[in-house]
Chains A and B, each alone.
Chain A
């Protein structure tokens, strides 16, 4: 469905799609693989397109890959919404370079000021583009818990990205200037964005957003499509927050990863199926005294063919889930 509603608008030079086991599993703070990731001489070979996911809503589909020296962490769905009074950036990008590219795409389409940049959660593929917008002096919108999450991890992520592609392309850690503890609204003149701060789920700082003009929901990484979800907050919490997302009444959404626009119900069903397989499989392993090193190879294997990068993240997800559930 999404394909028909969407037209390609712009193009850019972007990262090659090489996926290697070496790449950092940034989504889940797994940095095990970084030590060998160095700069590669391979030049950018592929182009990104900006797709119009709704009226005045432009989204770039992130690569289904892990951050590396070539793709500059352009792996999340990022974009912007043009309102009457200004532009709201829905997700900033995975690096300063990725954010600068996005800023260029905005400039091609409107000369309205960039008034808001949303930081949907702490992960680097969503947060590090923010540096590209600092000069615009926008309101940086984030979850009330985002500041402490960035305090804990921002510098750590920054160093890891800089290891991959250098300080200049990485950019600074940018903090929210508008903090949302429960719900909040931003009025762009002809459309209103309504925010919800979620409890621990994908991370401990997940913020979702609903656009009044299109009815589209922006659940960010509370919704993974195509790419295996990465668990870095609370498994039980995520399942709980998905109920809130369902209750929003939205029928279509812009997920944090995957196609730029999807029907919400089937996408949520797939995600829920994975999380439940992870939860129940991990619980069963704990009940049977299967140790964590064995459980990572057995849990949720029936989900293997349903997700890209499964091999990169599932074991990591089991490791996180096991620690959460073993003290129940």
Chain B
């Protein structure tokens, strides 16, 4: 356990200079931490993000589904279920022991169907994950899930930086079959390496600077579905599954990264079948 602890510490220090839109909290964490240590860390993180606002536990407003033990620490699929449609204003995903724990925040608009949201993240250490929803009446609720994985933020991409950046900003969207009057499930894919700043360049032997998707806004016609604020914990080539209420107008996607990259695309959802 100790060597892993030391390694995690080293990585944490190496990204101390990182700054993202979601303020990183830097601390050392280990796989062997007690529940109490984890709980205390979460309190610190929660305070840095939500201030002194009270966060109540919930079993119903949000649920996190994640593999108990990740197959690939650099691509851990997460499902956030928020079945009470229309009550959730935003959801924040926090990976407590990642170097930048605040992984993503989704702010929903009127065209959103929040019942199921999927994304892929990096996990750097055995960690608690927290999902915090803010309801429309301004209250905060949290759910927790423990995940075993390590090295996800620093795992090399297995290709050159140039290769990893090929087609950066390309987007695709897939739609599930639409039924009249029902929300539609869609999958947004964005080509982007989402460099974490912790991966070593193969040629220069220096850390590739963090370059990650910072903001993604998805709208159905004039109505917002969601805005995602992201950080280095999002896996490369981000894929987001979400639900929306179709009104026949195209889906607009705008994405930008922390180095000034900006991309936009429009997709035509399928016409509803009766």
Chain A interfacial positions (CB closer than 8 Å to B): 21, 28-36, 38, 148-149, 151-153, 155-156, 159-160, 162-163, 204, 232, 289, 291-293, 296, 315-316, 318-320, 323, 326-327
User: Given A319-B75, A327-B189, A327-B191: A32 and B69 within 8 A (CB)?
Assistant: yes
Asked whether A32 lies within 8 Å of B176 as measured between CB atoms, the reply is no
User: Given A152-B156, A292-B120, A315-B71: A36 and B31 within 8 A (CB)?
Assistant: yes
Asked whether B237 lies within 8 Å of A323 as measured between CB atoms, the reply is yes
Asked whether A32 lies within 8 Å of B3 as measured between CB atoms, the reply is no
CA distance A30 to B74 in the complex (A): 9
Q: CB of B160 within 8 A of chain A?
A: yes
Partner of A151, one of B31, B151, B185, B205: B205
User: Given A30-B72, A291-B241, A293-B65: A163 and B205 within 8 A (CB)?
Assistant: no
Residues of B within 8 A of A296 (CB): 71
Which of A155, A318, A327 neighbours the largest number of chain B CB atoms within 10 Å of its CB? A327
Q: CB of B67 within 8 A of chain A?
A: yes
Residues of B within 8 A of A32 (CB): 69-73, 148-151
Residues of A within 8 A of B81 (CB): none
Within 8 A of A (CB), among B211-229: none
Asked whether A292 lies within 8 Å of B155 as measured between CB atoms, the reply is no
Jot down 13 A-B pairs with beta carbons below 8 A, ordered by A. Answer: A34-B4, A35-B31, A35-B126, A35-B148, A153-B156, A156-B155, A159-B7, A160-B151, A292-B77, A292-B239, A293-B65, A323-B237, A327-B191
Q: CB of B14 within 8 A of chain A?
A: no
The 8 A-B pairs at the shortest CB distance, nearest first, are namely: A35-B31, A293-B77, A163-B3, A152-B156, A151-B202, A152-B202, A31-B151, A32-B149
Q: CB of B174 within 8 A of chain A?
A: yes
Residues of A within 8 A of B249 (CB): none
With CB as the reference atom, state the residue of chain B lying closest to A150.
Answer: B202
Q: CB of B258 within 8 A of chain A?
A: no
Count: A-B pairs, CB below 8 Å? 104
Residues of A within 8 A of B67 (CB): 293
CA distance A292 to B155 in the complex (A): 19
Chain A: minimal CB distance from B271 (Å): 18
Asked whether A35 lies within 8 Å of B72 as measured between CB atoms, the reply is no
CA distance A19 to B193 in the complex (A): 35
Residues of A within 8 A of B237 (CB): 323, 327
Asked whether B73 lies within 8 Å of A289 as measured between CB atoms, the reply is no
Given A29-B158, A31-B150, A155-B200; 10 other pairs, CB 8 A cutoff: A29-B72, A32-B148, A32-B150, A34-B4, A36-B1, A38-B2, A151-B200, A163-B3, A289-B174, A327-B172
Q: CB of B154 within 8 A of chain A?
A: yes
Chain A: minimal CB distance from B62 (Å): 17
Residues of A within 8 A of B256 (CB): none
Within 8 A of A (CB), among B124-155: 125-126, 148-151, 154-155
Partner of A291, one of B118, B148, B172: B118
Asked whether B160 lies within 8 Å of A148 as measured between CB atoms, the reply is yes
CA distance A36 to B150 in the complex (A): 10
Asked whether A163 lies within 8 Å of B7 as measured between CB atoms, the reply is yes
Q: CB of B187 within 8 A of chain A?
A: yes
Residues of B within 8 A of A318 (CB): 71
Residues of B within 8 A of A293 (CB): 65, 67, 77, 79, 118
Q: CB of B17 within 8 A of chain A?
A: no
Within 8 A of A (CB), among B165-179: 172, 174, 176
CA distance A320 to B159 in the complex (A): 14
Partner of A323, one of B75, B174, B176: B75
Residues of A within 8 A of B154 (CB): 156
Within 8 A of A (CB), among B60-94: 65, 67, 69-73, 75, 77, 79
CA distance A159 to B7 in the complex (A): 8
Residues of B within 8 A of A152 (CB): 156-158, 200, 202
Residues of A within 8 A of B158 (CB): 29, 149, 152-153, 204, 232
Asked whether A30 lies within 8 Å of B79 as measured between CB atoms, the reply is no
Residues of A within 8 A of B148 (CB): 32-33, 35
Asked whether B155 lies within 8 Å of A289 as measured between CB atoms, the reply is no
With CB as the reference atom, state the residue of chain A lying closest to B176.
Answer: A289
User: Given A156-B156, A204-B158, A323-B237: A33 and B189 within 8 A (CB)?
Assistant: no
Residues of B within 8 A of A289 (CB): 174, 176, 185, 187
CA distance A30 to B71 in the complex (A): 7
Asked whether A35 lies within 8 Å of B156 as measured between CB atoms, the reply is no
Chain B: minimal CB distance from A1 (Å): 36
Chain B: minimal CB distance from A153 (Å): 5
Asked whether B72 lies within 8 Å of A319 as measured between CB atoms, the reply is yes
With CB as the reference atom, state the residue of chain A lying closest to B67.
Answer: A293
CA distance A31 to B72 in the complex (A): 8
CA distance A151 to B203 in the complex (A): 7
Partner of B203, one of A148, A292, A327: A148
